[in-house]
Structure 1
């Protein structure tokens, strides 16, 4: 689809962590969602105009073990609280995307006992509390479509489909096709890690998938001083973007923070510059714009470090992260001024272990250059360009610097 998704930049929040909710279910309603309204101006000032929410539905623990898709988790509040947040966002031009877990449900879901034929009898990726739905059962498709329509009717802009990769694409084509008939402007993002990205989008009818290949190449090429990896990933990304508009990101609720991955704060700007200039639908995971740190660990509670509670308002943030916030503002501002970048075509012009220059081209001869230098020596850049963001000195990008260059 085209239209508003071409212009959205998401700020991604994991609500249960962000809002300091209890680790396990509680019957007591705590009206925490309204606290997010106090962050909407912060989101807009960052350069974003979308709020991508992690799980908000009733669950037993971390939110991905859904118990009731039609009820807001009492730890977060009520349906009225979500409606208020959606309306507050709309008043600022901010859309809200919800996270739908439709591959599996939590073991405590009433559906397990009410509709045993809706389940395969297996657990999702070995997690005992997550029971896989039987996507060959027509009633499951009807149920998922009903859930989607219910919350779209409340005013959300679309869905992130958790673990979409574990579901046959024909299931999404069936359910999303039904929902589009009533909500043609809704956007559907599938979580996909490996595999045939373009093929899955074509078969499923989804609008986008999570571009994990590019995510990995950005941080590891900077960490390892091997920009050949990023150059290759950009070639792949260009091929994907010719078929659909990928969802691009530098971090999310499931991975180690960018500042830890890169391992050198001098190169955070390089990563943000890539996110801001390549084709796709970008997102920023809350806290990454403040250079938060946190490592994901494969153990019980291993996600806690990347899903921390936030202060009640932006005023409570520590001072050290604001320079990175302002760097996001600068680069997202550049993207806003050059909206053709959403469908731009990146091509490498120079690559070495510690240096990469790529050109992003758009229609009517429009283009810009991105120069990344992770080495100690200056990187010469072509003449005839002016700085759009970053730094050049005497016709070169200084050691460990970056620049986005615009034609003079």
Structure 2
């Protein structure tokens, strides 16, 4: 699709993206397990390293006090919020959070807070103060939003008082901590008109970035295909980005041998049919839910963990890196208890830095750029190759899911002088030349 004007619904997508999001990569921070201290200030010491890797946005998992009633594990789920205006003392104080945000801003990083608007802990004071703000079953009992989320109870957004309260809480953190936006948990379970109205008020404070945990192309929020709403319109007026769950699970299925590599083409076509190219999704091989419940990228993807990481960075969309991926973390982190990351060695820091710095600097890789083009490179079924181009600048990417070295014959569009981003070797390529990709490997070239 050549530009957003061609898409019949382009005029509906009115969210403005801050300029700093155009070349951004996001990093999810599991504060509880990031450092031995598990605090804002201890994590802040890592910010210069993340900035040097090419990270632009840090997303903090929920920072609020956690409910004690029906708590899971020792420390509980950070998504069982007891007080929307409070700071979990496990992490520090409001001043400590402000210090983290100020430190991030000085490094040209932005900070998103994880926000749980759909439900609270059982012992959130709102349960007693405003029982009418919650959903009840036919017997008048509070209900969880999903049956096995037994530590939380669901809000009822038909209540105007709840909508005002939640909007005020969102405004509070923008004003008091100078954060740059929110990642909103199971955003599609909350009525879209609430988000649309809240976004108008939030934008009056500062330009911000809103990330929805949802994907209109794949069931989200613990729902089945039958229960799932694929037309929430979250990206039209409220959110800058949603999760790319459909691509994520497609990569899992390819690794399992349940889908061919070429199905990525069908995914990209579905994304562009649904949205104009100014709209982009977030792509990843891991996050907190995936790591703890589905397994590490090495469990799920095996030898394709790194080739698929290359795809999530270089295909259209914003890449996400999760806590510890640069350490080659190969264990499921405990979700309800402490499980500290060992930062002694960072074997994949260089790998991710090369990719993320390329993403950050290259004009053809900008998020939501309607002038950027993706051109698929035909080849063997075990290879997935493409060019991304803008105004003569280009990146060529090929990954190999087979065990054997495999050559790709290059079309005329790939002719020219290139720099291999990983080996730093310069190559002069002509039409008909072959580019060999090692088994379970990748080649990333930048036109020079």
Q: TM-score, normalization: structure 1?
A: 0.86
CA distance in structure 2 between the aligned counterparts of 1:260 and 1:385, rounded to whole angstroms: 38
Q: Which has the higher contact order (CA 8 A, sep 6+)?
A: 2
CA distance in structure 1 between the aligned counterparts of 2:232 and 2:375, rounded to whole angstroms: 23
CA distance in structure 1 between the aligned counterparts of 2:232 and 2:188, rounded to whole angstroms: 12
Match of 1:346 in 2: 374
Between stretches 366-375 and 58-67, larger displacement belongs to 366-375
Match of 1:18 in 2: 34
Alignment partner for residue 53 of structure 1, among 51, 56, 60? 60
Please show how residues 1-400 of structure 1 align to structure 2 within 5 Å: 1-2=16-17, 3-19=19-35, 32-60=39-67, 61-121=76-136, 122-126=143-147, 127-153=149-175, 154-183=177-206, 185-193=207-215, 194=218, 200-203=233-236, 205-224=238-257, 226-239=260-273, 240=275, 242-255=277-290, 256-264=295-303, 267-295=304-332, 303=335, 308-311=339-342, 317-319=343-345, 321-322=346-347, 324-342=348-366, 343=369, 344-350=372-378, 352-362=380-390, 364-375=391-402, 376-382=404-410, 383-390=415-422, 395-400=435-440
Q: Which consecutive unaligned segments of at least 5 residues does structure 2 have? A: 1-15, 68-75, 137-142, 220-228, 428-433
User: How far is 1:197 from its partner?
Assistant: 6.3
The C-alpha deviation readout for 1:35-67, integer Å capped at 9, x for no partner, is 011111121122112211001011122110000
CA distance in structure 1 between the aligned counterparts of 2:269 and 2:231, rounded to whole angstroms: 14
Residue 263 of structure 2 aligns to a residue in which SS?
Answer: helix
Q: Which consecutive unaligned segments of at least 5 residues does structure 1 have? A: 22-30, 312-316
Aligned residues: 382
User: How far is 1:209 from its partner?
Assistant: 0.7
CA distance in structure 2 between the aligned counterparts of 1:270 and 1:355, rounded to whole angstroms: 11
* 4+ residue segments displaced more than 6 Å: 391-394
Q: TM-score, normalization: structure 2?
A: 0.78
User: How far is 1:136 from its partner?
Assistant: 1.3
CA distance in structure 1 between the aligned counterparts of 2:232 and 2:388, rounded to whole angstroms: 25
Greater helix proportion? 1
CA distance in structure 2 between the aligned counterparts of 1:171 and 1:389, rounded to whole angstroms: 44
Greater strand proportion? 1
Residue 135 of structure 2 aligns to a residue in which SS?
Answer: strand
